[in-house]
Each structure stands twice: as C-alpha cells, then as structure tokens.
Amino acid sequence: MSSSIESLVNKEYQYGFVTDVESDTIAPGLTEDTVRLISSKKDEPEWLLEWRLKAFRRWQAMTEPHWSNLKYEPIDYQAQRYYSAPKSITPLQSLDQVDPELLRAYDKLGISLSEQKHLAGVAVDAIFDSVSVGTTMKAELSKYGVVFCSFTEAVHNHPELIKKYLGSVVPYSDNFFAALNSAVFSDGSFCYVPKGVRCPIELSTYFRINAANTGQFERTLIVADEGAYVSYLEGCTAPKRDTHQLHAAVVELVALDNATVKYSTVQNWYAGDKDGVGGIYNFVTKRGKAHTNSKISWTQVETGSAITWKYPSVILQGDNSTGEFYSVAVVNNMQQADTGTKMIHIGKNTKSTIISKGISAGKGQNSYRGRVKMLPKASGSRNYTQCDSMLIGNQCGAHTFPYIEVANNSSTTEHEASTSKIGEDQIFYCKQRGLSAEHAISLIVSGFCREVFKELPMEFALEAQQLLGITLEGSVG
Amino acid sequence: MSSSTEAYEQAFGALRASGGTGWLPALRREAMDRFSALGFPTTRNEDWHFTSVTPIAEKVFKIAPTRTGPATLSPADITALVIGDPDWHRLVFVNGRFEASLSAFAGLPAEVRVTTLAEALKESPEFVAEHLGKLASGEGQTFTAFNTAFAQDGVVIHVPGGEVVEAPVHIVHIADSHAAGVGIHPRLLVVVEPLAQITIVESYACAGPMSGGYLTNAVAEIEIGNGARVDHYKIQRESTDAFHVGTTQVRQGRDSMYHSFSYAAGAAISRTNVYTQLAGENAEARLNGLYLIDGAQHADHQTFVEHLAPACASRELYKGILDGGSHGVFNGKVYVDPIAQKTDGKQTNHALLLSDHARIDTKPQLEIFADDVKCTHGATVGRLDEGALFYMKSRGLGAENARALLTYAFAAEVLETIEVDALREGLEALAFARFTQSELR
Amino acid sequence: MLKIENLHATAGDKEILKGISLTVNSGEVHAIMGPNGSGKSTLAQIIAGHPGYVVTSGSVTYEGKDLLAMAAEERAQAGVFLAFQYPIEIPGVTNAYFFRSAYNEVRKANGMEELDPIEFLDFMDKKLKLVEMDEAMLHRSVNAGFSGGEKKRNEILQMAVLEPKLAILDETDSGLDIDALRVVAGGVNALRTRENATIVVTHYQRLLNYIVPDFVHVLAHGRIVKSGGKELAVELEARGYDWVMEAA
Ligand SMILES: Nc1ncnc2c1ncn2[C@@H]1O[C@H](COP(=O)(O)OP(=O)(O)OP(=O)(O)O)[C@@H](O)[C@H]1O
Ligand SMILES: [Mg+2]
C-alpha cells in the first residue's frame, strides 16, 4: 500500500523545461541603483520611482521575519538578480509581435496566447520572468469597460487608478517581503472592473520563471468598483534548477461597496528534488480590502515551491462584508509550507469562512497559520474555521497555529481542526468493493479536498486534478 | 539587566549569603543566573504574546517575612477560606511560610511521605536532590527560574509503589495583610511510584483586607510512575490586586493517568501553565479548567501536552466566562512526536463573553509529526445560545433568569469533571451564587 | 462455491480462529451465530481479505481458486461481498461516484463495458427502489453522518449494485427497526438466485424469519461448536449459548 501512495505523490514535475531565449538580465545585487535601473527600464514616471525608493529604504531597515515554521538557508539578497526579460519583447508590444519561441513555451504549458486558439471564456496575461509577454482578449473586455493589462501598461495608461490604489491594501512598509517587492517589482497584472459591471469572462495571469538565478517580483492589483464582479485565476510554473530561486509577490484586491472579487490560484512552482535541492522560495503577501456589502474570496491550491510563505487575507472594513479562504496545500519530499489567512473583522455583521486542507507526504512539513480578529466595533460578526490535515507516511508533519482574538461579545467564532491519516480501514472498505489501492487513495484524497475544489473555476479544477493525480469527478460540483 | 532584576540579584545575595556549597546552592545560583539572563518576558515572546507582565516586572517584590507574633488565623478560619473537607490531610502556608499549628496530616499511610520542603531537605536531602528542578528546569522560563532561586518552602510528596492515598492532600496557601508587596514562591515536588495513587488539592486564597498586591509564583513538579495516577486540583482565588503565576510540569510513565483541574477566579493578572509529557505508552492526560473573571482581571492559561510515546490519549476541556473589561487568554498546544503513533488527542476550549468590553485571545495549536494519529481541537467564542435562551423563556423563565441559568450551565459542564465531591459541590455552589445571585438547590 | 478447511488465524499475537471448517454451496443460505467476541466478524473479514489478520494454517477455496492468495479487490471483483458490521465513512466522496467506480471496476474485471454516469443513474434507480431509499442518498458522502440504520441500508444497496455471488452480511440487522429489517431482508431475498450464496452473521433469530437459512452454525471461541437447521436458531434464542458450549 505504501508503494502505491508513493507513486501517487511522487509524480514527475511536468513543467521543468527551460526556454532558450536571449535575455536582458541585470547583474546580481540590490542597491538604490538597481531600483532606479528597473524603473528606467520600464520608463516609469517620477512618482513611482519615488515610491519604490521609499520602499527600498524601508526594506533596508527591516530584517527578514523568522516567526514562521519554515527552515531554510539564509537568503543572500545581494546574490540575486532582480530583472530579466526576453530581448525580443519590447514594452507595450501587441500579441502578434511576440517571439514564436515564447509562444511555443506557453503552448507547452498548455496555454495558447494566439487569439484564435486561446480558451474561450478566459483572458490571459502571460508574465515571463520580469515582464508581460502579452494579454489576450483585451478588445473583447474593453467593450465592457474592463481594463485588463500588464502592470507596466497600466502605469502608462491608467496612472490615476494606480496612484489611487497601489499600496492602499498592502503598504510598502507592511512587511519585509512586501517592501522588497515594492522596491523591485518588475511587472504583474492590473484589472479594473467599472461600476455595476459583471466581468463576463475569467481573467487570468500565468506566471513563468525561466531565467536562472533570477527572482520574480510581480505585483497584481485588482479593483472591482461598486457593484462589480470579477473572477481571477493565477497559475505559476518554473524550470527545474538545482539552486533556489526567490519569488516575492504582492497581490492587492479592492472590492468597493457591493462588489465581489474571487481570486483563485494554482501554484505549481518547481518544488526542488526529493533531497530538497533547488526549488522556488515563495514569499507572497496577498490581501484584500472589502468595503460595505462586498465579498472577497480566496481559493488556493498550493502544490509547488520548496518553501511557501503565504497568507491571503481579507480586511473586512465595510459593514456586512464577507471574506472567504479555501485552501489545499500539499507538501511532499522536503517541501515546507506555512500558509493560512487573516480575517480582520472591522465592520459590523461581517462574516468570514476559512476552510483549509493540508496534505503532507514524504518529509514535507505543512503548517496552517491563521488569525481571526474581531475588533470591538465588529458587532454581530461571525467566523467559521475548519482546518484539517492528512498525513501520508510517517516522516512528515502537520501543524496548526490559529490565533483567535475576539473583543466584542456579539460576535461568534468557531474553530475546528483535525489531523488524520488515510485510514487502513477506508482503503480496505474500498478494496472490498473492487477498487485498487491507488484508486482508493485518490478517491479518499479528492473527498478530503472536495470543499475547496468545488470553489475552483472549471478550468482550474481540471488542472488541480491533474496536479494531484486524483479524480475530481464525483467530488466536484 | 533591568533595574528590577538587579534588585533581585541583591536580594538573592542577602537571602542566600550563608548558602555555602553543595547541590542546592548551585541549583539556586544557576536559577538566579538564568532568571537574570532571561529577564521578564515581553509580549514579543510568542508564549506571552497576549499577556503583558509589565505590572509584575516593574515592581520588586520583597522576600516573605517570617511571622513574629502569634498566628492570627485559626484552623476554623482556614476551613472558611477554602473549599474542601477539613478532614483531608492539610498543610497550610501563610505568606509562603509553613504554619504547623494550622496543619494536620498525621493519618497518612506510614510509607507515604508528605513533608515541607524545608523538612525534606533535612530528612532526606538525597531524595530531594534527585528530583528537585529536574522536570521544571526553568530553561527558557523566567518564572520557573525565579521560583527556584527564591523558593523558601513548599511541599514534598513521595508515594511509594502500589500505595493508594485515599483522602486528598490539601495544600493551602493563604496571603494575609502582611503579604502586601511580597513575593511568594511556593514549590511542590511530587513523586508517585508505579501503581500508586494520590489526589492533591492546591488552594490559593487571601485573608482579610489587602493593601497592595503581592505575587504568588508557584512551581509544581510531578513525576508519575508506570500505572500510577495523580489527580491534581488547583483552586486559585487570590486577592484581585494580586499576581499569580503557577507552573505545573508533569512527566507520565506507561499506563499512567494525570488528571488536572484548574479553577481561576482571582488575581489581577494570572497565568497558569500546565505542561505534561506523556512519556510512556498508553498514558492518559485529562486537563480541564474553568476561569471566571470580571472587572480588569486578566487570566491566561497555557497547556502543553507532549505525546512522546505511542498510544497515549489526551483530553482537554477549558472554559472561560468573562465579564466587565476582563481579558482572557487560552493557549493550548498538543505536540505529537514521530514515535507517538496511535495518539488520540482532543482539545476543546470555549469562552463566553458576558460583556461588550471583555476580550479573549485564544490559540489552540497542533504540532503533529506522526501519521497514525487522531487529533482534533475545537474552539468557540461567543455569547449565550439564542435558541436556548428562547426555549427557556418560552417555558416562562424571565430573561435575566434564563441568562443566569445558562451561564451557570456553561460552567457546570466542566465542573462536572471534578471527581472529588466536596470540591465539585463547593465550586458549583460558588459559580451558581456568582451567576444567579442565589443559592444552589 | 466456498470451502473453508481447518482455518486458524491470529491478530497481533492473539489466536482468534482455532480451526474452522465450513462448506457453502450455490443457492444456500448459512447463518452464523455466537456470543460477542467469538470470532464471527474475524471470519467474515478474513474471507474478504482484511490485511489485519494472519492466517496461520488451513485453506479457503472459492470457485476452485485459492481465495487467500487473492488481493481484497480481486476477491470483490470475483463476486465476494462483505456488508460490514461497522461500515466505514469516506467524507467528501459521494455515494453515486463511489458506487459507479466500484461497479465499473467489477465489470471491467469481468470483461464488460463500463457504464457512463447517465446509464448508471438509470441502473441505480431500480436498485434504490429495491431497498426503498431516496435518490438524495446518492449525493451524500459515503456513510458520512449516516445514522446506524442508514449505513446498514447503504451496505445492502451496494450489494444490490454489485450483485455478488457470495454475500456475507455481518450483523446487518443490528440497529435496524422492524420496518427497515423487512426492507433489508426483502432486498436480500430479491437478490437470491440459485447461483449465489449468502452467509448471514447475526445475534437474532428475528432476521432469520425473513431470510430463512438452510444451515445454522454456532461459533464460539474461534470454533464452530454446533451446526443444525433453522430450528437451531430458535433454540439458541430461547436458551442462550451456554448449553451449546457446555455440550461442545
Ligand atoms: N485486529 C484485532 N486485534 C486484536 N484483537 C482482535 C482484532 N480483531 C478482533 N479481535 C478480537 O478477536 C475476538 C473476536 O472478534 P470478532 O470481532 O471477530 O467477534 P464477533 O464474534 O464478531 O463479536 P460481536 O458479536 O461483538 O460482533 C475479540 O476478542 C476481539 O477483541
Ligand atoms: Mg462482529
């Protein structure tokens, strides 16, 4: 039985190839000049450079946080490269000007960027190392007034929106990695959905790290104006390399009154080999601000990265706002994940739901870390948290660190957690009905993750299914 | 080093001037050094994140004075001050000093040793040397080191293999009006050999009017042999301007049982630590507690259950009722070692906020490294169940009445786990009176 | 169909079965009764291939093949079905999906076409009627949060789906009220043919009024201490087990 579990969890990483493109890569090291260089490469306005520099100075005064349950070799920030872009990409070019080699790379990842072949119903912004390769379906979206483009493009075409919202949810001073990102971010996606518009298609960004020894620092900003709705998906992959690569992203979501933002992630960065050689160090700050009657929902399937440090959070600022967090985190071999969420209840009658499923295999260590905070004025608020862990094999670990802080007496919080292994009895029961051990395990795992997978849009549910090697049919929907 | 630790260093010098050499002075010296080096914890320390001990850290508590005049309390006073049966084996300490005239513990089985720490150091120093400071080494724990450096007296209990002590041993700590500004550091050392059994009740109470707070900083070390059982009740009803820090460190052998109940209703700031190591197969720990706080009180409970052997079980139920502007903290941690397969752990904590200004911070943690385990924890914070309130009202109860009864019922669920009748009934009566302003039954 | 010869089995270092011999032919119904802890479930689980028991000696032949050499799922695919005394919960996996997976595995193993979800739902319709269960049941997770009676019915529903050759019902009657008992027994009887066989483990003669056995065996301390016709069950109910054990 254990061998069947092993073959299930030890699937080969499919996206480990390297694309051979000529790149404009800057020298390793991080100084004010690096920040200026990145800004000038992007031809940025002065105010943005100033913002970056403030962030950089702040970062220099900060120290890397070590409160998480993660163990890794110290990161030498001066040994990293902070910018790398394929030479063939010129700023603000259109999709039909893209280097065919890059298009092929995306085809190999299962994402077609050519307008004829792309997935119906999904617009894609493709980020390759430090820059955007292009964004599909822009014309279609503009009919609805929806802006969806690379961050760089937004800085040039929608400076007023960027000025207003950049750093409004995650200030550059928020934490060490957010400050670092604010100083050196190179690209990312921007989306604005105007008042009352329900964005008719799914928006997505596909992040690809290709260059060696280069970090990726992208920034995503999504603004849903009053009464608007948007569903956004994010996917990530990287080549197999035997050195660790740094990824420090920031995502800011703004849901104005009565708006809904749904953000889904399938994170499949290279995880390193079975001895922990190589793999992405993934330090991400994701946060949304929910105004009156609005809703922000995070769904994540975290399967990649050597290290994951990530807590998608919601500030429930407005009365009657809703925050959700659905997560499946899988660690195998030497992977470590410290992930969870923060729900900060500020407004009255605010509601949050947290469903976290951790699966640990090999020597993987999986930690759930969550904070539910009910402030004195958040009367009548509710939280429900459920975090379950499943252990496969006896060398892995599961940890839960929930913080529950309640400062008013009309709110309720409920927290449940459990840890278990796939029961021998469950496997035997399935076998008695004619199923093989592999089939039984995939069935049990998919049942375990069901509540989270049913939150994923269909396209992503399929990808998640492939990733986990499980059948979702019967567990989704 | 802060000014208060400097002052303690001086006080230590004076207190232990005639210390000489040997294991005890060395143990104390080491503890003092550790205490000075660690200093009082700040809220940046993860284990003290929600509890600020600044009010304790900025004072310098004096060494408890020795009584000079005649005893001001009578045995009857003690009976009135604490819950329990006067017939139990009773050891009374006033302001940390043993009061033989108030104590009575003669009727114990001959093989069982119950003595004061001071007495035990004279009678059987080797035994004390072998066990004292072993479980509660004070590593990383300021208050434990503080106790070890300054402890003047306490209780030593040794139950040899197979002995069953029927009546509880009641250790009573009273602070009276002389306690103002004093630091009391009681120590309890319990060694229970295989298959033996004992029930220990620790009561902390205050007598008479208080002017100015005092600090109780208690440490208990309990070793439980294979197949042995210890029931341990701690009833903390200190003066509401006092500070109370109590740490219990337990190590359990195979098939043993440790049952702890902590009741906390007193002190301005209290911190109760219950740590147990399930070190032998099939051992079981049951940790329960109830805290009732009001006004500006702050009550912090920390439990840590380490599953270090296979097939052990732990059960935890903590409840808190918070009124006024009080602040409660619960931090329960369950650790499951890689070898501790077949662990069955369950932890529950519930808090009831009666006032809009009360606050609770809870952090139930699981750290699991073995795969064949069943561990759960549940935590809720909230107010009384509206459905139950409605149900009671529909049966004709007034709103206030219904509320009071439900609040009492919330507390009663955990009081029911108390297996010593006199204690359970006493605490039930106390809780009932507190919430319904009337008498039980 | 099934031939058990001098079967000895242990769990951990405890010997539970101490020499069991039993022959079951097509078309027969055998009832096994016996005090708590006598080894009835153990016998049932060993026939189904539970990995927790070690067979120390003896043999089990099923349709001429060495049953003990087959994996649990192979036995199921070959038509051995066990209705568990304590059915297992599988949270998050719907009955519908679970049944179809099992059904298709069994068909595949027997060289038949798999059914697609629509065909399968059709097929399920009839089976649900047989045990008087609601379709909503199909969309709930396997046994999760089911009442004791629902779990037992769910076992019989699976039996109806898989149409086994040898069905072993381990205390399927305990926890059922009289109506449910009638439904479950009705289901079992409807599935009886001359080709298949049933072993019913029970404590109560009551069930045997509905599922009439050809043989009744008393299992005690890991051995079959008495066998007889259906009247033996009546006698056991009236007199308890002590007299059989004393006689043995
Ligand atoms: N895995 C196991 N490990 C150790 N002992 C076991 C195991 N399984 C069963 N036993 C023991 O073997 C004996 C027979 O158990 P079994 O479940 O077969 O009894 P039963 O006849 O079905 O009883 P009941 O009428 O209560 O269902 C019991 O004493 C039981 O405790
Ligand atoms: Mg049985």
Q: What is the DSSP string of B306-327?
A: EE-STT-EEEEEEEEEE-TT-E
A425: closest chain C residue by CA = C88
Residue of A nearest to B45 (CA): A67
User: Residue B328 domain-assigned?
Assistant: no
B261 plus B397 within the same structural domain: no
CA distance A279 to chain C (A): 32
Residue B366 in contact with partner chain A when CB distance is under 8 A: yes
CA distance A108 to A98: 16
B22 close contact with A: CB closer than 8 A: no
B322 within some domain:
no
For the stretch B125-159, pLDDT in tens is: 999 999 999 999 877 799 999 999 999 899 999 99
* Domains of chain A: total: 1
B347-403 pLDDT tens trace? 999 999 999 899 999 988 888 888 778 888 888 888 887 777 777 777 777 788 888
Which whole number is the average pLDDT over B240-255?
96
- Alpha helices, H only, chain C: 40-48, 72-77, 95-109, 117-130, 148-162, 178-191, 205-210, 230-239, 242-247
Quote the pLDDT of residue A472.
Answer: 39
A vs C, Cβ pairs < 8 A, gives 91
In this complex, the residue of A423, A428, A446 whose CB is nearest that of residue C72 is: A428
The answer on pLDDT for C118 being more than 80 is yes
Q: Evaluate whether chains B and C are touching (3 or more beta carbon pairs less than 8 Å apart).
A: no
Sequence letter at residue A146:
V
Select the residue of A67, A397, A409 nearest B368 (Cβ to Cβ): A397
Per-residue model confidence (pLDDT) at position A475: 33
- Averaged pLDDT, B424-440: 86
Q: C213 or A101: which carries more pLDDT confidence? A: C213
Closest C-alpha to ligand 1, atom 29: C37
Q: Please tell me the distance from the alpha carbon of residue C41 to that of residue C164, in angstroms, as a whole number.
A: 19
Sorted by sequence, the CB contacts under 8 Å of residue B134 that are 6+ apart come out as B221
Q: Decide if A477 is inside a domain.
A: no
Q: Is residue A126 part of a domain?
A: yes
Residue B324 belongs to some domain of the structure? no
A residues 410-469 lying closer than 8 A (beta carbon) to C: 423-426, 428-437, 439, 443-444, 446-451
Task: Identify whether residues B272 and B408 lie together within a single domain.
Answer: no
**Residue numbers of B between 309 and 348 with CB closer than 8 Å to A:** 338, 341
**Residue from C17, C42, C174, C202 whose mutation best tests the ligand 1 pocket (most atoms within 8 A of CB):** C42
**Residues B205 and B173 sit within 8 Å (Cβ to Cβ):** yes
What is the CATH number for C178?
Answer: 3.40.50.300
Inter-helix orientation angle C117-130/C178-191, to 10°:
120
What is the rounded distance in angstroms from the CA atom of residue A474 to the CA atom of residue C98? 8
Query: Is A59 part of a structural domain of the chain?
Result: yes
| Chain A residue with minimum CA distance to B326 | A407
Ligand 1 within 6 A of C16 CB? yes
Give the helix/strand (H/E) hosting A35.
Answer: helix A32-41
- Decide: C11 in ligand 1 pocket, CB within 6 A: yes
Largest CA-CA distance found in chain C, in angstroms, rounded? 57
Residue closest to A64 by CA, chosen among A79, A54, A74, A51 = A74
Q: How far is A446 from chain C (nearest CA, A)?
A: 7
Collapsed DSSP state (helix, strand, coil) of residue A353? strand
Asked if residue C194 has its Cβ within 6 Å of ligand 1, the reply is no
- Minimum mean pLDDT range among A140-149, A156-165, B13-22, C23-32: B13-22
Residues ≥6 apart with Cβ < 8 Å to C192: C29, C198
- What does DSSP assign to residue C137? G
Q: Is C45 in the pocket of ligand 1 (CB under 6 A)?
A: no
Contact A362, A394 (CB under 8 A): no
Tokens 């890059």 map to which residue? A102
- State pLDDT tens for residues A20-61: 888 888 889 999 999 999 999 989 999 999 999 999 999 999
Distance from CA of C153 to the nearest CA of A (A): 16
Q: Which domain holds residue B432?
A: 385-441
* Whether pLDDT at C34 is above 60: yes
At residue A115, the pLDDT reads: 57
pLDDT at A3: 41
List residues, by chain if needed, whose CB lies under 5 Å from ion ligand 2. Answer: C 40-41, 85
**Considering its fold, how many domains does chain C have in total?**
1
Give a yes or no: residue B117 inside a domain. Answer: yes
**For chain B, what is the domain count?**
2
Q: Is the pLDDT of residue B29 over 70?
A: yes
Q: What's the rounded mean pLDDT across residues A387-414?
A: 87
Q: Which amino acid, A240?
A: K
User: Mind listing the pLDDT tens digit for each residue in A78-90?
Assistant: 998 999 888 877 7
For ligand 1, atom 25, the nearest C-alpha belongs to: C36
Strand residue runs (E) in B51-109: 62-63, 89-94, 97-98
For residue A477, the model assigns a pLDDT of 28
- Binned at pLDDT 50, 70 and 90, residue B440 comes out as low
Asked if the structure places residue B291 within a domain, the reply is: no
B164: in domain? yes
Which residue type is seen at C14? K
Judge whether residue A94 has pLDDT over 80: no
Q: Verify that B19 and B147 share a domain, yes or no.
A: yes
pLDDT digit string, tens, across residues C37-50: 999 999 999 999 99
Looking at the domain assignment, is residue A278 inside a domain?
yes
Is residue B176 in a domain?
Answer: yes
Residue that finishes a domain, picked among B220, B252, B280: B280
Q: What is the CA radius of gyration of chain B?
A: 21
Chain A: closest CA distance from residue B323 (Å): 10
**C-alpha closest to that of A286 among A308, A257, A317:** A308
Q: Is B16 in CB contact (< 8 Å) with chain A?
A: no
> Which residue, by CA, sits nearest to atom 26 of ligand 1?
C36
Mean pLDDT, all residues of chain A: 87
B267, B398: one domain: no
Domain hosting A176: range is 3-472
Q: How far is CA A124 from CA A95, A229, A238, in A?
A: 11, 17, 18
Question: Which residues make Cβ contacts (< 8 Å) with residue B263, sequence separation at least 6?
Answer: B233, B234, B235, B236, B237, B289, B290, B291, B427
Tell me which residues of chain B, numbers 34 to 63, contact chain A at a CB-CB cutoff of 8 Å: 46, 50
